[in-house]
Structure 1
Amino acid sequence: MTTVAAPTTTGRPVLIPLALAQFICSFAGSSMNVMINDISTDLDTTVQGVQVVITVFLLVMAALMIPGGKLTDRWGRKRCLMAGLATYGVGAVLSAAAPGLGVLILGNSILEGVGTALLIPPVYILTTLLFTGTAARARAFGTIMAFGGIGAAAGPLIGGLLTTAIDWRANFGFQALIVALILFLTRKLEDPLPADPTRPFDTVGAVLSAAGLVLLVTGILAADNNTWLMIALLVAGAAVLAGFFRWIRGLERAGREPLLATRLFRSHTSNLGLVTQNAQWLVLMGVSFTVGAYLQVVRGYSAIATGGVFTSATLGLLATSLSAERLAKRHAQRTLIVAGFAVTTVGIVVLLLLVRAVDSVWAFTPGLLLIGLGIGLMLTPSVNIVQSAFPDSLQGEISGLSRSISNLGSSLGTAAAGTILVSELTRNSYAAAMGALALCGVIGLCAALFLPRDRAA
């Protein structure tokens, strides 16, 4: 049995680069929402073209996160982290110099997506291994999820500032600089578990899982153009994923190691936690794209004005996510998740009603503030519930699965809400997209209600 080496790097020194890694990956997914008009004009493309760039980036992350988590056992957590950062940095530089949409997709969607899939699982594995106990992990995950949530919520604001002051390409230069800083800060990081180069890797399982997820999200993107194509892609995606589960069960029966252990899906608590994670990021990224596109295309707001609107969401998310340790000591994790979904769903409804009734930028503030408060309230307990449900030997697999489910939610949110919105950019399509996101919030709330009742830490 492999034992965890006593970590030589603990506390703030290791937590800062891990949190920054989550920040920049979340920032990349949302900052482009305020650059829609600028990128469309500069690269001679459309709103749908920019939506594809954003969605493919999120989809590549979701499709490769499970294989990325598995590779941490074979290559080691630090090596995967460094390789992911290097790949991401190359993608950011290439995106900054992109002469057209194709190169932007290669740099941002593909290379940054692959880099994220390699670097994010080690972030969560290292956090789980280096911080023990519910309160300590809540504090560590709270910091990481706060940075991730802030990256997603503040992405439009920072992106708007950079786009207005310099150019949309400066956003990718900013990402490259942050990646260089993380590489510098992690140079002395030590892996608490030794790498195992002899660990088998399930290539067939990796291909099947990635293909199934790609087909599902592509099907949603096709909804606006061809209903029958959408149905065909969704059915094909479901069939491929069913084949994936049959494959990994077959490997286990044969005594071989699959990409994912089927026992990961036998935990009732973990399964519900994964559903809540998916719903959280679906709502957050869906709202970010919907509001960003609506403000720029329908109301004609600039990048900086659009980013400024999201300040209230950033402040709300910061307030609750940074209080994760204190909240975990006072309230059960189930309570926090239920309350988070309730507040978030109310925020979406407020955002929808006020924006339709009041023709002012301030109409967005109350709803976005509530959404930020709600998302920040439940991000940390959802991650903690899932990660803590399994032993150290399964942290590579569950971290990859957890991040894959979360990023799948992000890509589904951008694809579904974006498809509804860009079909006809009007108040009615905005209302339809926000209504769909509110429904997803209710689904997440229902899943949270079935979580087992636990105690405060």
Structure 2
Amino acid sequence: MSTGVARATATGWTLAPLALAQFICSFAGSNMNVMLNDMARDLGTTVEGIQLSITLFLLTMAALMVPFGKLTDRLGRKTCLLLGLGVYGVGAVLSALAPGLGVLILGNSILEGAGTALLIPPVYILVTLYWRDLRSRARSFGIVSAAGGVGAATGPLIGGWICTTISWRAAFGFQALVIIAIILLSLRLKDPLPADPTRPYDVVGAFLSGGGLVVFVMGILAIDRSVLLGLLLLALGAGVIACFFVWIRRLERLHREPLLSTGLFRNRVSNLGLVTQNFQWLLLMGISFLVSSHLQVVRDYSAIESGVIFSAATVGILVSSLSAGRLVRSISQRTLIVTGFLVTGLGTVLLLLVAAVPGAWPFAPGLLVIGLGLGVMLTPSVNVVQSAFPEKLQGEISGLSRSISNLGSSFGTAIVGTILGIAAAGSEGDNYVLAMVPLVIVAIAGALVASRLPGVRATVPSAAPAVG
């Protein structure tokens, strides 16, 4: 479709369902963090069981994002968006009615995770197709990324309030209502590119990529129970992922279309951007998971009390992410990402310093600083990756980008959960400090990786050429 048509279909309401979709999916990834005790008590399980459900939700997203991102070419972007919203909505209702942990995992971890993996790639593809120049695209990505960051940051606050005033089940009802609103808004969207039902689909590649990621993260989760089993699963997962790359390279040599083009991994700028995305969401979800668990399990704060503390991070993300679209016009994306990681690293150090301080409010300054740091770099990281490829590859790179981000979320919760679960590490307070240390290291590593990005501002022409 021509550039003019793509621009003409982008009305004032076009961005609303896309931003709301990213908001509710990010909200779902963090709102359960402050409901651990209430859910465990009501479902007759343990806090560790609820934590496992959270990690499996994030893992399902990461494993299915690439295979489902590729489906957008065959089924169409709007169709995948609506189908994903439907699956997610069913999962939310099932979770609200769950009588035990098993049904919760089916509804929340599997169905909501799969629905998210199906609907999120179209969100980012449509933003790329609707807004063609880098400046307007950066602004749109800024709004969508801000919605995601705010969703993750307000998840504990909104979820805690709903859990305390009504019930944790009502939090899933809230998600279902938002999904209905998004579906109604999405019906007005037009797909800028036609679907291609004849497009080949790499089923073997889908199983290898998804299976490898699942086994690898399960290895991290297994380490606290059996180091040997954990290492074996990590090795097996890495082996399956290696087989995936061998498989897609073989298909390319046979001139057949693989699940992912190996050319996606030859773009240095995109590769660096993907690493920064992974680290950003590892930090956001890891910190949320760690602080929420510490406040509830160790300091015995309620869901609403724990959630209120996270309003500091929400304010930080709102202030910085909503300014990111303007900042990229005058400041290079590399500078914004590096600065974001350094500021986030400072916030994690502040959280380390209050480990032995009584009360919950001493955590607020650190969370505020972390929110400011994460918010300022979410937009440029997404824009760097999406704008590095032409439209014919947007289905693949969008799925890969979201998969890498959600894999980071899975790593964050898995690493923190594993460290907290190692009884030999000492007291709960010591475990909090031990779990925070790798997050500090990730923030520093993120700044080093981002420093290797080119210093490009959003005033240059888009790197993604127009189709046709």
Shared fold by TM > 0.5? yes
Which residues of structure 2 form unaligned runs of 5+?
A: 460-468
Partner of 2:435: 433
Partner of 1:366: 365
Amino acid at match of 2:384: I
Partner of 1:216: 216
Partner of 1:446: 448
Q: CA RMSD, aligned part only?
A: 1.0
Deviation sequence 1:331-372 (CA, Å, 0-9, x none): 00000000000000010001111233x212221011000100
Which residues of structure 1 form unaligned runs of 5+?
A: none
- Counterparts of residues 399-418 of structure 1 (less than 5 Å): 399-418=398-417
- Counterparts of residues 288-327 of structure 1 (less than 5 Å): 288-327=288-327
Partner of 1:355: 355
Q: What's the secondary structure of 1:329's corresponding residue?
A: coil
Cα distance, 1:250 vs structure 2:
0.2
Q: Is the 8 A contact 1:51 1:415 kept in 2?
A: no
Deviation sequence 1:397-454 (CA, Å, 0-9, x none): 0000000000000011000011112334611000011111111111111110111222
Cα distance, 1:4 vs structure 2:
6.0
Amino acid at match of 1:164: T
Partner of 1:225: 225
Cα distance, 1:455 vs structure 2:
3.3
| Distance in 1 of aligned mates of 2:219 and 2:240 | 13
Amino acid at match of 2:231: I
Is residue 2:151 matched to residue 1:151? yes
| Distance in 2 of aligned mates of 1:65 and 1:180 | 22
Q: Is the 8 A contact 2:53 2:109 kept in 1?
A: yes
Q: Is the 8 A contact 1:59 1:408 kept in 2?
A: yes
Q: Is the 8 A contact 2:80 2:119 kept in 1?
A: yes
Cα distance, 1:12 vs structure 2:
2.8
| Distance in 1 of aligned mates of 2:291 and 2:107 | 25
Partner of 1:116: 116
Partner of 1:420: 419
Deviation sequence 1:126-182 (CA, Å, 0-9, x none): 000001222111110010011100000110000000000000001100000000000
Partner of 2:462: none
Cα distance, 1:94 vs structure 2:
0.2
| Distance in 1 of aligned mates of 2:159 and 2:51 | 16
| Distance in 2 of aligned mates of 1:320 and 1:100 | 40
| TM-score (norm. length: structure 2) | 0.96
| Distance in 2 of aligned mates of 1:4 and 1:25 | 30
| TM-score (norm. length: structure 1) | 0.98
- Counterparts of residues 29-428 of structure 1 (less than 5 Å): 29-356=29-356, 358-424=357-423, 426-428=428-430
Q: Is the 8 A contact 2:35 2:160 kept in 1?
A: yes
Change (3 A) 1:49 1:180: same
| Distance in 2 of aligned mates of 1:423 and 1:156 | 25
Amino acid at match of 2:143: T
Q: Is the 8 A contact 1:3 1:193 kept in 2?
A: no
* Percentage identity across paired residues of the two chains: 63
Cα distance, 1:46 vs structure 2:
1.1
Partner of 2:466: none
Q: Is the 8 A contact 1:340 1:373 kept in 2?
A: yes
Q: What's the secondary structure of 1:293's corresponding residue?
A: helix
Q: What's the secondary structure of 1:63's corresponding residue?
A: helix
Amino acid at match of 2:372: L
| Distance in 1 of aligned mates of 2:294 and 2:392 | 46
| Distance in 1 of aligned mates of 2:453 and 2:240 | 29
Q: Is the 8 A contact 2:325 2:379 kept in 1?
A: no
| Distance in 2 of aligned mates of 1:273 and 1:418 | 26
